[in-house]
Structures are given as structure tokens and as C-alpha cells.
Structure 1
Amino acid sequence: MRGAFSSAQRAPAPRAPLPSIGRRRAARAPRPLPPPPRAAQPQQQPKQHQPQQHREPQIMQIESISEDDESAAPPPGVRDPFAHIVPYAPYGIRRDPNKLVVFAIPPASLHSPLDDVLRCPDIRHLPRLAPRPNPLLLRHKDLGCVFDGDRVALNVVSYAAAAHAGAGAPQQPGGGDDGGGGAGSFAAEAVAGPEGEVEDAVAAAAAAARAVPVAAAAAAAAAAVRAAPAAAAAATEAAEEAGQHVLRARHGHYVELPPLPCQQAGGCRVVVPLPTFAMRAGVRDTVYFAPEKVTAAIVTTGGIVPGMNDVVSAMVQRLGMYGVPEGQILGIRYGFEGFYSRSHTPQHLSPRCMDTLHLSGGSCLGSSSPLPRADEASLRLRRDAVAQRLRDWGINVLLVVGGEGGTALSADLARWCALEELDCAVVCVPKSIDNDFLLLDRSIGFDTAVEQAQRALIAAKTEASSALRGIGLVKLFGRRSGFLTMQAALASGVVDVCLIPEVKIDVDLLLSHMRRLLEEKGHAVVCVAEGAGQDLLYKPGEPRPMDEAGNPVLRDIGARLRSLFKSGALGEVDLKVIEPKHLVEATPSGASDHVLAKTLGHHAVDAAFAGFTGVVCGVVNGHHCLLPAPVVTQSYKTVHPGGRAYNRLRTTTGQPF
């Protein structure tokens, strides 16, 4: 397997390691991407299929595409495939730490119009692309295919019990069992859809619902149901006349509420409306790229997570199944830096060498942080350098495995290619060890990270219970979202206190609870996310610095808790501190992540061949779908402190906060 990613010398045997691009460039006249010899395919490809020759771009000679980073107007006569996404992503493609977006999603029902769909941008209109039968389906007739008319419901929990449907009472919504806060049990949660992060938005959403005549009719119907059966029938008729669908269930009436308009919901939370459906992911019967003309590049960006190699392996194998020649599948080294750095030459990838790649952790291509955002001029310069390399190397399929930064940059590159009418499809597979992508059920690597974090918590339990007044303190990932910490605490069953970024830490209440635990049990296990308690580490009004990637710099909450527990407020304690961060992120993926990563890798290649660009592949409500990248990167998903998942955690641990 090592030979697939090394710069070994050329050998005549068919299964010899492929030479690196840098070695080929030194041996012949300078060319951007001369294909290596293909012993298994001796017949040469026609010249028009070879990438065009261009000069090597110098980064300092490349001018920025526009002075404004994201608001560049398309040239006259050029269609912007991202124009229809603006209402669904009003805050751009990069997360703003000062805004938390929640979605208002109409619940899917038999009455939902199928054209109310979150359409994905595409480049099918470009003159160099033409529809043709999918060669994959010709080779594998039993594979099955999906169509652009196939739909995935973004909000499948459609109805609320009439006892809770009154918009006047701001009920605290439940949230999903997965911890992401699913579309909820109460009517007020229709404002949040599958994300469930409503908290202080519920009151404003209920007020808006009362202002809508249709919603008022539904609320009147619900109130009448509680009042008298005769009045309920009359109110039901009024609601039906107002356009509401009222279902009669076995144990009562269920009233469907209308979607709410986009509004500022109070504080930093903003409600954004979304359509009812998303487009389904999978193999299309029609493709827009000829496999023999495709030059594909694969990039892994950001921090490593379990399953990255699985995605790379799946992508390379899927490209081979479509018929892309081996010499035209490139692995970009060390993230997007491999595009503009002369010290990192791309490597040829072969499906023959992917058999055991998924058994190792990390990234075989190397990974680095996305382009820095602190300096906008530098960002545009490097972004344009990457875009110029796409043009010079003849890359028309770019597959990215990245976090929020890599996904945002992918959307940026996709729009640039579309406005320049460059036939390059950019598709991203989102990865996040925090599981904080909007709308998505889970990201690759999350389940494996929970399993590894659980082992650290069980070890902390053993250490703490074996010591006199022992405390086991485990610090895990979770910059702004506490999904990993919460799920690991639930899975282990040994945690006494779980601290996440979404819930402020009351120091007095924490110490009081810890004293009670030490008196009753003789030990305690504390699990904390790295982003928890940041308000304790900054003075009021103190500005919080940002790193080069645009994320807030976190101060060490573990050190603060250590000093707090050792301050004497708990008496004599034996403190054991475990920080398994690198153990969690560097481990090979587990069974569920193997399946998820392979499936998403296949879907990414399928979406690129189908002509989609600037999209991500993910799982929503258990179904694989395609989503525009700006929609899922404009904010981040958080644990709802009033949801069922966090309440289940409190019940399990017994903590009072």
C-alpha cells in the first residue's frame, strides 16, 4: 500500500508503484500533469483527451478575482448556479460565531408540493458538458439509480398533539433522540425543524405564529379541542377553510402548523426558512462527464478524524468503476496547500492499491488547516491560486473531505469555476468530530470518536474509584458543540458530571454537587468539552481572539477545573487527568463509520458525474441526500439544553445543571 503514495522509480511490471508527478516533471519537458504509463492499458488515449499544457502559475503573479470576497457579480450572460441559494444561506458560506442559524422547515405530508425542494447548484448548462448514459449502470445493471425528482424530507415529524398545538404557550421543545434535537413533539418546534436549537426562539416563533391568520386558525382549533367537542368541530372546519390539514388520530386531533417566516428570533439566533425536501443522493442514469476525459483530484483538509482514509479509498474505487484511467486520479498532498506549494507534489492514486487503506487511521494524503481567514487579501490570493491550478491541470472533478473550513472553501471554488464557465464539479464529504454540521444526522468519524472517548471515561472511572476521594477528569473535543462529550458520557454510564459549551458552568453548584458525590460515593468522574466554561476564563467585556482559521481561541478549561478541584474547596482529593484527544482522532474507524464513509465517498463521485457542484453529501433523517454547501456551513449545530437528549443525560448522571 505504501507504494501507492510514494515516489518510487518506474518499473515495467503492471502492479509497480506509480511515479509521482514531481519525478515525471523532472524527467521530461515541463508539463502540468503528464499521465504515467499504463501497462494494463497499452492503447494511448486520443490527444484531445489529454489535459492542456499551460505554464506553471506563480502565486504572487495571480491577481484576485474580485475585490469583494463573496459578492462578485457574475459576468453578463453567465448564469450563477448559486443564486437561488441566497435566501437559504443569508449569512454566507463561513460560520459567524456571533450568529446561530436555525431552520424553519415545513413538515412533509401527503399535501406537500414536490417542487418545494432545496435544489443543488449544477454546471450542466456549460457547453462542453453533454448528457450521456451512465457507464456505471451499463456495467452493473443491478446497481439501481435515483432521479432528480427523488426527494428526502428534511422534517419528517409532521404533527403535534392538539394539547400542545396552541401557539400561545411557548412549550419547551423536545429534540431528537440523536442529540441533535429532531423535529419536535410540540407545535412550537416547527420553527427549528430537525435541528431543534430553539431555546429562546420559541417565544418569538409562537408570537409570529399568532400573527399569521392560518396559524391563528390552527391554534383556535387546538384550543377548541381542549374546550368542547362541538366547538372543536366548528374550529376544525375553520382551520380547514384556512388551508390547514387536520388529521384525526386514534387518541385525538393533530394539527399541522404552517412554516414561519424568516425573522430575528432574539439574541444571536436567526430563523431561516428552508423548503420541505432535499435532493436524494445516488447514481443517476445520466452523467455529464465522459470518464476517459475526467481528471479527478482528491483533497483532505482540516484535522484528522476516523474514516478519512475510508472516504479516499471509496472515491478512488468509485472513479475506477466509472472508467476513469488510473493516471488521471490525483491525490493532493496536505490539503489545499498542495495546490500552490511546490514542495508538495500530487500523487497518482490507483484503485488497485486501495484494498487495505481503510484499515489505517489519519489521512494517507496528509491534511492541513484550510486557507487562513484572518487576512482577506491573502485568502483571496491563495484561493485564486488553487482555482488557477484547477484550470492549468485540467481538473474537472474536485472531491474534498473537509470540515467547516474545507467545505466553505469548496463552495467558494465551485462558484468561481461556475462563473468562469470552467467545467469543474466540486463536491465535498463533510467530516466533523464534533458532529456540528447543520441538518446532518452525523458526520464521518463521530461514532468511532464516541467509542474511543468512552474507553477513556471507563479508564477514568477505574482510576478514580481506586483512589481515596479520587476524581477522574477527562477533557474531550467540543469547541462549540457538546455532542461528542454528551454521547460519550451516555455511552459509558460512569460519568457523574458532564460539562458542554451550550450550558454555562455554575461554580458554586458544581462544587456543591462534587462534595455530595465524594461523600456518598467516595469518587467522581467529570467529563468536559474543550469549549465549555469559556465565560469563566475571560473577563467581562474582554475581546476573544480568533485564530488564523477564523475560530475563537479556546483557553484551557481543564486547567481551570484542576485548580478549582485542588483549591481546597473539596478537601483532600486525588485528581487524575486524562486528555485522549489524539487517541480519539487518530484511531481507525469503526464498523458504522466504515459503512458511512464508503457510502458518502461513492455519493460524492456520483454527484460530480451528474453535474452537481458546490454540494455536500450527508445523511438527513436516515436518508442520504445532497445539500448546497453554503446552507450547512453558515452556522453550526448545538445541543439543545432543554431537549430530550440533554435531559436524558441529566437523568443518567444525576447532575443538577
Structure 2
Amino acid sequence: MSEFRIASLGQPQYKSPLKLSTVKGDNIFDFIYDSDRLVFDLSIDQYHHCLKTGKEPSCLEKAGPRQNIFFDSKHTTAAIVTCGGLCPGINNVIRGVVMGLHYFYGVKKILGVPYGYEGLNPDKGHGFVELTPDKVKDIHQFGGTFLGSSRGGQDVSVMVDTLEANQIDMLFAIGGDGTLKGVDAIGEEIQKRNAKISVVGIPKTIDNDIDLIDESFGFETAFDVASPILRDAHNEATGAFNGVSIVKLMGRDSGFIAASAALAMPVVNFVLVPEMDFDLEGEKGFLKALEQRLKQKRHAVIVVAEGAGQHLFQKKSGVKDASGNVKHQDIGIFLKERIAEHFKDASITIKYIDPSYIIRSAPANSSDSVYCSRLAYHAVHGAMAGKTRFVSSKVNNKFVYVPIAEVTKKRKKIDMEGEFWFSVLQSTGQPFSWR
């Protein structure tokens, strides 16, 4: 289907330096062809629909090395930029891209763009950092970003001017929704100029809210790091009569971290996420449920995503950050104050914990490290083949290329009628709603 068609800079004209196979059964990995495509919707309903209508199902292009590549490796310059908030695994991706370009394809000139898209604006004076295997060989052991980051866009024309002035052939942008929209705009401007520069997105968002893809890197580490924090919060809650621990986790528009952390450490009694509406007051409200919990067990652990409960604030926040995201009001502090007020005549101890910046700056765990390397390698293969304006990602547990425009149409959210959220409810014992 056309909606998943990957744009190309032109006909690949160079033979790949990778010594791979075109023969099945010889125990050597085979080159991937553009005709190797994977069905997007695997449901039986979609299967019967295609049989009935005779329409071809929507398919995604399989990621991997191509036999013919677009760029001459010896004369190729690549650049890497990291944007937005910190997230576990950024350095792993940087390292993977550098190692892949250098050792797989022999690309010797790789530039790091400091401090996000600011680094592509000469007026900011950041310059470039030359990246070599020796420079990046150990950065995967640390959290944060080796290149630095920033929020907010720069003038697209200026950024493309910078790419052209420095004869950069491909730009790898590591970031979330705003970063991906930004690099797609760069790709659009490049296309208008008929320039031959590939732009590639590697989806990074700790909230796991990139649409269509299975998972964004760093997300698994996030709830992995959060799990022992929830364990300790439980210890705090049980250490006092009517002890209540409130843990606020990241999740501006989607509550995947809060929900997954609660499943991973099943000592949580209440999970509040942005996808749900709930009342505080009333017989069916959250505070009444908390009352009942304390009567029964004399302690409670509450996990709340940062974007949850914004409907409870009388004055809506109209302030936006540099990335254009609405700055949410602090639901964690709000809950702490409302719970304290509600139980003011009772003996209650409240502990409030916000580990957000500790979690997002942690190094990637083993699982995320594997994922980051594989995303990076597939991004390199796609760029070298001359593909552009795509993300390297995993869909239906297969590595594929997806057009950036498709994954940025909307944010991925928890399906409140889905099995995942039902699992959270089964783990916590909380009702389907507090309305």
C-alpha cells in the first residue's frame, strides 16, 4: 500500500561492501530486497477482508542490508543529532550508528551535531564533533547523550543550508515525536531543493507513545529502573499505620511506564494514567476507594503518570515547552495535598516520590542495549541504500522501515479496553473506573 512506501533518493548504483549471500541455505545472511515486505495487520478479519475484496493488504518494507547501495562509501559524510528529553539508550544508538557506518561500509567521516537541532544553526556556535569508533566505544555504559540535546526546532532552511555547506549525505535524528516531525520537514526541504541527502529517524521516547511501532527504545529500561523504586515505596507505605506512598512517573500523554512498572512490581494498588478520566470525590470516586483500601490493609501504593488527572485542575495550563508540548500541572503534588486534606481527621502518613530524572538518565539495560544496536544497524543499512524520511523500527516483532509521516500522525495510547490495561487492573485490584 502507498501509505507505507519508503521514499528513495534514486537508483542505487554501487555494490554493497558487505559480503552477504543471495542463496538460501548456505548459512550466510541474505541481502534484503525492497520486494521483501511484511503484512501490517495480522488479524483474521483483515485476512478475510482482503480475500473478499481482492485488495492487497497494507505491507511494510523489511529492514536490512541491500545488495546495491546509493552512496559511495569512500566519499560519504554522515551526521548524528539527538533531540528532546533524555532517555536510556541514546548513547547505544549513537555508538551503533558510528560502528555500523565505519565497519560495515567504510564511512570515515561521521559528524556529531551538538545540542540537538541547535547544532545545525551556525548562529548558535556549537560546531560539529567528529565521531570515530575510538571516541564512542565506551559511551554505551553511560546514560544521557554524548552529543547533548535541546528542545525546540530551528529554521528548516538554515538547517538544510548547514547540511549542504558541510556536504553531509545523511542525517540520523534520534528523538521522539517532535524530533521526527522536524527531520521529516528537513527531508521535505531537501526534496524541494532536489538535493541527495538521506534523513533517518530512530524513534526515542521514554513514554513509548510513538504510533504504529511495537516499542521505542529506552522504555523497557524506564520501567525496569522504576520497579525497585516501587518496591521501596511499598516498604515506606507498610512501615507506617495508614501509610500512603505516591510515586509519580513520566508519561505526558500515555501511561505505559506507570502501567508497566506496576505490572513488573506488583505491590501497587492504584495506577492513574492520562488515558483515564476519574473522579476524586463521591461514593464511586478515587478517595473513597483509597479509604476502603486503608481500612482493609492499612497501607496503599499509588502510581501516577505525570499527565494523569489534568481534568481535575480548575485552571488549565496553556504554557508550552520548547517542543510545543503543553506543560502539565503537577498531579503528584495535587494528589498528595488532596489526600492529606481528605484524611485530615485520621492518622495518615504520606510519602511522595518523583524519580523521573533519575529514570530517564539511566544507562540502558541489557534488553534495551540489544534493541538499540539493532535499530542503529538497520537505520544505517536503509540510509546507505538511499532511503529517506523513514524510521527504523519494529512492528509485529519484525524490523521494518516506516515513513516518518505515518508514525507522527497521532500519539500511541493505552487501549483502555485492551488486554494490557486489563492486566494492570487484575494486578492492582482497582475497578474499571472511578466515576
Q: What letter corresponds to residue 143 of structure 2 in structure 1?
A: G
Which residue is equivalent to 2:340? 566
CA distance in structure 1 between the aligned counterparts of 2:20 and 2:231, rounded to whole angstroms: 51
Displacement of 1:619: 0.5
Q: Relative to structure 2, which stretch is displaced further, 492-501 or 338-347?
A: 338-347
CA distance in structure 1 between the aligned counterparts of 2:103 and 2:18, rounded to whole angstroms: 7
Q: What letter corresponds to residue 18 of structure 2 in structure 1?
A: L
1:605 to 380, 389, 392: 380
Whether the 8 Å contact between 1:485 and 1:500 is mirrored in structure 2 is yes
Once the two structures are aligned, what percentage of the paired residues are identical?
33
CA distance in structure 1 between the aligned counterparts of 2:81 and 2:404, rounded to whole angstroms: 16
Whether the 8 Å contact between 1:136 and 1:321 is mirrored in structure 2 is no
2:292 to 516, 520, 544: 516
CA distance in structure 1 between the aligned counterparts of 2:103 and 2:361, rounded to whole angstroms: 29
1:156 to 42, 57, 75: 42
2:266 to 488, 493, 496: 493
CA distance in structure 1 between the aligned counterparts of 2:63 and 2:211, rounded to whole angstroms: 17
1:329 to 105, 110, 118: 110
Q: What letter corresponds to residue 124 of structure 1 in structure 2?
A: G
Question: For residues 169-184 of structure 1, what are the structure 2 equivalents within 5 Å?
Answer: none
CA distance in structure 1 between the aligned counterparts of 2:188 and 2:135, rounded to whole angstroms: 33
CA distance in structure 2 between the aligned counterparts of 1:142 and 1:370, rounded to whole angstroms: 44
Which residue is equivalent to 2:389? 614
CA distance in structure 2 between the aligned counterparts of 1:422 and 1:135, rounded to whole angstroms: 25
SS of aligned partner of 1:566: helix
Displacement of 1:258: 9.5
Whether the 8 Å contact between 1:470 and 1:523 is mirrored in structure 2 is yes
The reply on whether 1:655 has 2:430 as its aligned counterpart is: yes
Q: Relative to structure 2, which stretch is displaced further, 594-603 or 347-356?
A: 347-356
Query: Structure 1, residues 252-285: CA drift from partner, whole Å, max 9, x if none?
Result: xxxxx999xxxxxxxxxxxxxx952100001111
Whether the 8 Å contact between 1:441 and 1:619 is mirrored in structure 2 is yes
Could you list the runs of 5+ residues in structure 2 that have no partner in the other structure?
none
Whether the 8 Å contact between 1:119 and 1:628 is mirrored in structure 2 is yes
Q: What letter corresponds to residue 37 of structure 2 in structure 1?
A: R
Which residue is equivalent to 1:582? 357
The reply on whether 1:346 has 2:346 as its aligned counterpart is: no
CA distance in structure 2 between the aligned counterparts of 1:546 and 1:370, rounded to whole angstroms: 11
Q: Relative to structure 2, which stretch is displaced further, 413-422 or 527-536?
A: 413-422
2:82 to 293, 300, 303: 300
Displacement of 1:143: 4.2
Question: For residues 123-162 of structure 1, what are the structure 2 equivalents within 5 Å?
Answer: 123-124=9-10, 130-137=12-19, 142-159=28-45
Q: What letter corresponds to residue 228 of structure 2 in structure 1?
A: R
CA distance in structure 2 between the aligned counterparts of 1:652 and 1:592, rounded to whole angstroms: 24
Whether the 8 Å contact between 1:279 and 1:625 is mirrored in structure 2 is yes
Displacement of 1:566: 0.5
Which residue is equivalent to 1:233? none
Whether the 8 Å contact between 1:472 and 1:525 is mirrored in structure 2 is yes
CA distance in structure 1 between the aligned counterparts of 2:410 and 2:8, rounded to whole angstroms: 23
Which residue is equivalent to 2:142? 360
Displacement of 1:572: 2.3
Displacement of 1:391: 0.7
Q: What letter corresponds to residue 310 of structure 1 in structure 2?
A: N
Which residue is equivalent to 2:152? 370
Query: Structure 1, residues 585-625: CA drift from partner, whole Å, max 9, x if none?
Result: 01110111001100000111110111111000100000000
Displacement of 1:523: 0.4
SS of aligned partner of 2:64: coil
Rg larger in structure: 1
Could you list the runs of 5+ residues in structure 1 that have no partner in the other structure?
1-83, 89-117, 160-189, 194-213, 216-242, 246-256, 260-273, 372-378
Which residue is equivalent to 2:182? 409
Query: Structure 1, residues 33-88: CA drift from partner, whole Å, max 9, x if none?
Result: xxxxxxxxxxxxxxxxxxxxxxxxxxxxxxxxxxxxxxxxxxxxxxxxxxx96xx5
Alpha-carbon distance change, 244 to 147 in structure 1, aligned in 2, over 3 angstroms: closer
CA distance in structure 1 between the aligned counterparts of 2:413 and 2:150, rounded to whole angstroms: 25
SS of aligned partner of 2:182: helix
Which residue is equivalent to 1:34? none
Which residue is equivalent to 1:443? 216
Which residue is equivalent to 1:591? 366
CA distance in structure 1 between the aligned counterparts of 2:192 and 2:428, rounded to whole angstroms: 53
Alpha-carbon distance change, 512 to 320 in structure 1, aligned in 2, over 3 angstroms: same
CA distance in structure 2 between the aligned counterparts of 1:461 and 1:407, rounded to whole angstroms: 38
CA distance in structure 1 between the aligned counterparts of 2:139 and 2:319, rounded to whole angstroms: 39
The reply on whether 1:623 has 2:435 as its aligned counterpart is: no
SS of aligned partner of 1:401: strand
Displacement of 1:355: 2.5
CA distance in structure 2 between the aligned counterparts of 1:646 and 1:154, rounded to whole angstroms: 23
TM-score (norm 2): 0.92
Which residue is equivalent to 1:454? 227
Whether the 8 Å contact between 1:511 and 1:569 is mirrored in structure 2 is no
Displacement of 1:383: 1.4
CA distance in structure 2 between the aligned counterparts of 1:284 and 1:455, rounded to whole angstroms: 43
SS of aligned partner of 1:306: coil
The count of corresponding residues between Structure 1 and Structure 2 is 423
SS of aligned partner of 1:468: coil
Question: For residues 66-85 of structure 1, what are the structure 2 equivalents within 5 Å?
Answer: none
SS of aligned partner of 2:7: coil
The reply on whether 1:557 has 2:331 as its aligned counterpart is: yes
Displacement of 1:138: 6.5
Which residue is equivalent to 1:174? none
SS of aligned partner of 1:498: strand
Whether the 8 Å contact between 1:137 and 1:143 is mirrored in structure 2 is no
Whether the 8 Å contact between 1:134 and 1:285 is mirrored in structure 2 is yes
Query: Structure 1, residues 371-390: CA drift from partner, whole Å, max 9, x if none?
Result: 1xxxxxxx5xx211111001
2:5 to 91, 114, 119: 119
Query: Structure 1, residues 525-573: CA drift from partner, whole Å, max 9, x if none?
Result: 000000000011145xx57343332211200111110111100337221
The reply on whether 1:632 has 2:407 as its aligned counterpart is: yes
CA distance in structure 1 between the aligned counterparts of 2:157 and 2:57, rounded to whole angstroms: 33
Question: For residues 195-210 of structure 1, what are the structure 2 equivalents within 5 Å?
Answer: none
Q: What letter corresponds to residue 157 of structure 1 in structure 2?
A: S
Which residue is equivalent to 1:172? none
Alpha-carbon distance change, 642 to 307 in structure 1, aligned in 2, over 3 angstroms: same
Alpha-carbon distance change, 440 to 258 in structure 1, aligned in 2, over 3 angstroms: farther
The reply on whether 1:397 has 2:279 as its aligned counterpart is: no
Displacement of 1:351: 1.4
Q: What letter corresponds to residue 213 of structure 2 in structure 1?
A: L
CA distance in structure 2 between the aligned counterparts of 1:625 and 1:645, rounded to whole angstroms: 24
CA distance in structure 2 between the aligned counterparts of 1:556 and 1:152, rounded to whole angstroms: 43
Query: Structure 1, residues 76-107: CA drift from partner, whole Å, max 9, x if none?
Result: xxxxxxxx96xx5xxxxxxxxxxxxxxxxxxx
Whether the 8 Å contact between 2:271 and 2:303 is mirrored in structure 1 is yes
SS of aligned partner of 2:199: strand
Alpha-carbon distance change, 353 to 384 in structure 1, aligned in 2, over 3 angstroms: same
CA distance in structure 1 between the aligned counterparts of 2:240 and 2:205, rounded to whole angstroms: 36
Query: Structure 1, residues 395-434: CA drift from partner, whole Å, max 9, x if none?
Result: 0111111111111111111121122111100011001111
C-alpha RMSD of matched pairs (Å): 2.3
Q: What letter corresponds to residue 622 of structure 1 in structure 2?
A: N
Which residue is equivalent to 1:45? none
Whether the 8 Å contact between 2:160 and 2:186 is mirrored in structure 1 is yes
Q: What letter corresponds to residue 85 of structure 2 in structure 1?
A: G
Which residue is equivalent to 1:466? 239
TM-score (norm 1): 0.62
